[in-house]
Structure 1
């Protein structure tokens, strides 16, 4: 087994080559314990977090990975405020209008949208939000993979979120695929006012997303990539979007 410091050097070198970002102000640590590799530290955004984890997995194929990476929240937000913001945003989203939205507060369940009597109805779902140290955990049940992924994106979009643990179950079960990822990302880009979705093309192959097209600013180019990385269960993002003044 490789030493953790060797793996770290390899991963950071690959990360900086791929992303053109330096992590000097965001120290990352890795340690092997009982056959598992634990990755800790803070990174500037969700794209950096997921790219770093994927590169680590590539360099330690077959090793169980324990993810303790967190995204820096700037400015920081208290858990109660983050939970309230997320629940409100989910309750207002058209895609979750038939979902029961709940918050877990000090061990107690608070129903904020809908009623638990509605939870068993066809076409509905239940999303329970728990926040601890800026980490959002989503539990419950939704009706599609798109809803599951949209819940994660919504959490990442709320300012102050440091990580998302999506434990939402599906009912009925659904087979994932490239078309599903492409469709939900198209919806995400159309929903995000910071990008112009009509100027961006999406291609998904083996769960790997390639973005192309053109936008007016580098900030918009980066935001489109961030939106793609917010999706769960993808194999990577290649950003070929061009900036045209």
Structure 2
């Protein structure tokens, strides 16, 4: 159903209120910009964390009248890096991950597709490209575990502002709460910046709950961002306590 200009204006005001009511949505370069494009809500700007980005999108999606969202939100990088440096870091991270050892790796460099690795018996292909700090992963892999790990490793590069995980999975891999739980737990244990031994993970309808405790508020936020970085996670409930 087509909305009038007045109705669209009213919806935008409700979205702004929804964003202001979520304290974890913290823009870093001025307010999040909102507009309409072909009936979809366009959200553009920069926030301070991956959790903030996801929560902003969730808050907007709950507003009546928002039927679709064009996501142009970016995350403030931990370190400002050029696209070439980000691409190199993503490439090196994927090359070093044993779960992806049987995947062909290629990267787009100045419009050219260059082969980084081609195993003798490849099972899948990942193509890395970076533009304005946004990492895009294209190609096809053999399972959801590979798709998820590739996406998380791209998010972990300190210059990444967003990750578009366009990897297909062939043959199709059935997902479940249990597999999401396993993936999140694996990511938390793999993160070198996190002490994850006292964190428990449960998942219900793709919403992940983190329980337990960590030694600092910073690690509490790191754990939540790690969970959000896992493909297929629709929500994160962070119940971690800080115990120095």
Q: Does 1:143 align with 2:147?
A: no
CA contact (8 A) 1:26 1:43 kept: no
CA distance in 1, matches of 2:169, 2:181: 19
CA contact (8 A) 2:104 2:118 kept: yes
CA distance in 1, matches of 2:161, 2:188: 21
Question: Hey, what does 1:184 align to over in structure 2?
Answer: 183
Q: Provide the alpha-carbon RMSD of the alignment.
A: 1.7
Q: Does 1:118 align with 2:121?
A: yes
CA contact (8 A) 2:28 2:47 kept: no
The structural deviation recorded for 1:9 is: 2.1
CA contact (8 A) 1:73 1:161 kept: yes
Between Structure 1 and Structure 2, how many residues are aligned? 237
Question: Hey, what does 1:175 align to over in structure 2?
Answer: 174
Structure 1, gaps ≥5 residues long = none
Q: Which moved more, 1:198-207 or 1:27-36?
A: 27-36
Equivalent of residue 96 in structure 1, options 63, 84, 100: 100
Q: Which moved more, 1:84-93 or 1:59-68?
A: 59-68
1:177-236 Cα deviation digits (max 9, x unpaired): 111110111110110022222200001000001100011111111111110011122221
Question: Hey, what does 1:219 align to over in structure 2?
Answer: 218
Equivalent of residue 105 in structure 1, options 100, 106, 109: 109
Question: Hey, what does 1:13 align to over in structure 2?
Answer: 20
Q: Does 1:32 align with 2:39?
A: no
CA distance in 1, matches of 2:38, 2:167: 29
1:143-172 Cα deviation digits (max 9, x unpaired): 111211111111110011011111100011
The structural deviation recorded for 1:22 is: 4.2
Structure 2, gaps ≥5 residues long = 1-6
The structural deviation recorded for 1:6 is: 0.8
